[in-house]
Structure 1
């Protein structure tokens, strides 16, 4: 197991209804910098995205944004200090974020945040990538979703051995510690190219 160098954060382009969400984004940025890590994120200057990026930058961390052309103006692409990658599609965005990072932390967010997190889980389930996915359960935000995953497991749609791919943390420090300690569960097979099958 190698020590993570960069952490990808999936989070909302809005700030949400609770100050707790913004504070978690600020704390994540600070703690990423304190641990000598880089931050990879969706490239926007608004919402929790902008808060996490600004906090990491202020604390001296490397910050890399990945944003599609179509969202560059809508999400007000971050300016100073962020190494920005502008891509053509949302698919390219997710692939680039995964390529640049060593694990994922999921802050509160909406449809896009959830979709990014679930795709990262699917890639881990299939062995396409072997990187941890931690839901930072700020003020219980992710508890209903994680309950749904438990229900899926009970109903026979998620294997018991693979349910732990979706990890839960209640603090930023716990989330980063879980990423650092992550190892794919037994039975997760690496993705095979046709010539390897």
Structure 2
């Protein structure tokens, strides 16, 4: 089963359908200048819609057509505009210096070149916000297989060319149980 089919099945089964935006994104929304935002791996649109509600011109990209169907319905219901793009973020091309914000919530990217390409599309003084699961010795209840988790400190290395403003590795209690995650926001400086 290819990646798109796998994700479509998950959405058809009712998984990954949260509507509430990331608490980390909520905590930063007033500190990030409004402008163009790219939500990579946007899923059912929870963060894309929140960004649009808060004055951003948003592009949400996801590999799952099922997720984007849900996202479109939610955006229409909330009467917000989002440019939904169906596809793999690795094939999405944009001009350099395009986005004020790039948001990545729970999408595993391990190729340094992919990160560099994303950073090129950030405007100078633009922000990269990223949340994902990390490996831990603590027993956790939710999250992907170990191979799709970052080592502690690994995300910092991937962001080495940015000014890291906040970086937290935490164990969180959620409705579904414990999870180990990293939350970071970094800024692209002038060279």
TM range, normalised to the smaller chain?
0.3 to 0.5
- TM-score (norm. length: structure 1): 0.45
Which has the bigger relative contact order, CA under 8 A and spacing at least 6?
Answer: 1
TM-score (norm 2): 0.46
When you count helix as a share of all residues, which structure comes out higher?
1
Bigger share in strand: 2
